[in-house]
A and B are shown apart, each in its own frame.
Chain A
Amino acid sequence: MLRRTALTGPATHLPGRKRRRPHVWAACLTMASVLAGCSGTGSTISTAVEDSSSAIATARLALHLESSGKLTRAATSTALDDSLKELETSRKTVLELSPATEMERQAVQEALGVLDHCAASLTDARDAAASNDGGPTLPDGERELAAAADRLSALGTKDGGK
């Protein structure tokens, strides 16, 4: 559902760009990463994975609280919206990478695959929270999110091993 291909033009290279930060810091970070002699692709992916895990965890917690009757619908949907926004931000940082080597290209592809899956699960979860009948149920949403979280953590472990 969310698998639209954003950003057709050549993406800006933002090595080392991490969570939710204005572009001002990009310059500083570029310099820092150049000084440190690292490409930045690996760290961008691992930050994106970390942030996405946090977003998925938030969504899981919100759904869990909603299904146990502790959270109002407005609060749940806001939390899910915020999670989706954070996930999309992370996904964009990975999309904007321009990998230099074959290995990096593979890593980016793999990460994007997982992040897309996460976005899709999160969107389903949001629909589950919003719908009263017919659509996906809360347990469905929770299951999907759990699967997404597993894939993220697998990617994180692999990524951390590199």
Chain B
Amino acid sequence: MKRLLGVALGVLTAIGGFVDIGDLVTNAVVGSRFGLSLVWVVGVGVLGICLFANMSGRVAAASGRATFEVIRERLGPRAGLANLSASFLINLMTVTAEIGGVALALQLASSVHYLLWIPVAALAVWLVVWRVKFSIMENVTGLLGLTLIVFAVALFLLKPDWGNLAGQALAPAVPAEETAPTYWYYAIALFGAAMTPYEVFFFSSGAVEEGWSIKDLVQSRINVLVGFPLGGLLSVAIAGCAAVVLLPAGIAVTSLSQVILPVAEGAGKVGLAFVLVGLVAATFGAALETTLSSGYTLAQFFGWSWGKFRRPAQAARFHLAMIICLFIGLAVLVTGVDPVLVTEYSVVFSAIALPLTYLPILIVANDPQYMGQHVNGRPVNVLAMVYLVIILAASLAAIPLMIVTGAGS
């Protein structure tokens, strides 16, 4: 019974933890402009993140090594540093976007301007990172993030023309008002939002934090294989809500306040309350994950002592690095830069950096020196190679598409 509860908790946390500001914004933007014609990308992205998160979890459980240690060791210092710079900067952008997202969500709930909420949000993130136990942090934000299910509920209450929605999803076509490059630019953004590298850094480091062994792999596999696809469905519901309410009204999403309007329309003030709790929890949870990830990547590259399971004094550089990251994010946000804009860029840059993260994991997951008998099976390898090709294509196409489309306008 206790075991079952553990499994359920893990799955629920994975669902609630899946959606972050990147998924929220990108899915709403895409839904409001392309309807459900890009839903297939969410599917591709979710399968990919399942594959590689599961692999990195297995590497962490079998060898006790987290992803960035593996990256440094396999790529060597030079390519490793290039990778670190890219991953770290994108991660910093994501930290900034998530903290901005928390503040925007709090503004929606309170009508106090988001710039005033930013220091509060950053301080709260730091306090949790500094003080709260890893598993509590994970479970609380994950469970509260589950309230985002209200997007799915609202979609049902809106009583959309399901046949039309299914048609958009199953026979994707570029809408008349949009161009093909824009369509593909947003396809890459959605892919980047679903497969953000920080999720893998966080997942594998979390496995080390919680001291996973091979025995725990079954649990982790269920979390990933059930939780992430359901989290992906949540993303689709966000896009669906935007497609049903905002697209016909001619509203192209550019701010978080637009994302919640369909929920209010479908589920009223109660729905609104749920969605606001969900927004705060999801962005706050992701702010924690990205802040920790920036500490993880630096510490693992340079071999510092790291982990929330240690006292802060026993992982001094790790904690100092995170404090500095939060300050940088804070400094960027107080300039008044639009957090939604930062988010839109961060997901595309994530897509660009994807190959750097996933290639070393794949290589090490095949190395018996690390994995013993738990090396990848052949089907996993075939699928992973297919994904590497997709990831590489998306990564190479991202910058040209960004220039051609003027970042998706």
Contact = CB atoms under 8 A, between A and B. Distances in A.
Q: Say if A and B assemble together.
A: yes
Contacts of B258: 58, 79, 82
Interface string B247-291: 001111011011011001100110010001000000000000000
Contacts of B249: 57-58, 60-61
| Size class of the B contact interface (CB-based, 8 Å) | 20 to 34
Nearest to B107: A78
B257 A75 contact: yes
A70 B407 contact: no
B250 A70 contact: no
Interface residues of A, number: 35
B255 A86 contact: yes
B108 A74 contact: yes
Nearest to A73: B111
Contacts of A18: 406, 409
A77 B111 contact: yes
A21 interface: yes
B363 interface: no
B254 A19 contact: yes
B409 A54 contact: no
Given A61-B249, A74-B108, A69 B268 contact: yes
B373 interface: no
A35 to B, nearest CB: 12
A106 interface: no
A69 B246 CA distance: 19
Contacts of B409: 18-19, 21, 47
A71 interface: yes
The interface residues of chain B, by DSSP majority, are classed as helix
Nearest to B340: A20
Interface in A55-83: 57-58, 60-62, 65, 69-75, 77-79, 81-82
Given A18-B409, A65-B261, A74-B109, A54 B403 contact: no
B69 interface: no
Contacts of B276: 75
Given A57-B250, A61-B261, A62-B261, A25 B109 contact: no
Nearest to A85: B255
A62 to B, nearest CB: 6
Interface in A35-66: 47, 50-51, 53-54, 57-58, 60-62, 65
Given A54-B254, A65-B261, A86-B255, 19 more contacts: A18-B409, A20-B338, A21-B409, A25-B403, A28-B403, A50-B252, A51-B252, A57-B251, A58-B249, A58-B251, A60-B249, A61-B246, A61-B249, A70-B272, A74-B108, A75-B264, A79-B255, A79-B258, A82-B257
Enumerate the 10 nearest inter-chain pairs by beta-carbon distance, A residue then B residue, closest first.
Answer: A74-B111, A18-B409, A79-B257, A82-B255, A70-B268, A78-B257, A70-B264, A54-B252, A71-B264, A82-B257
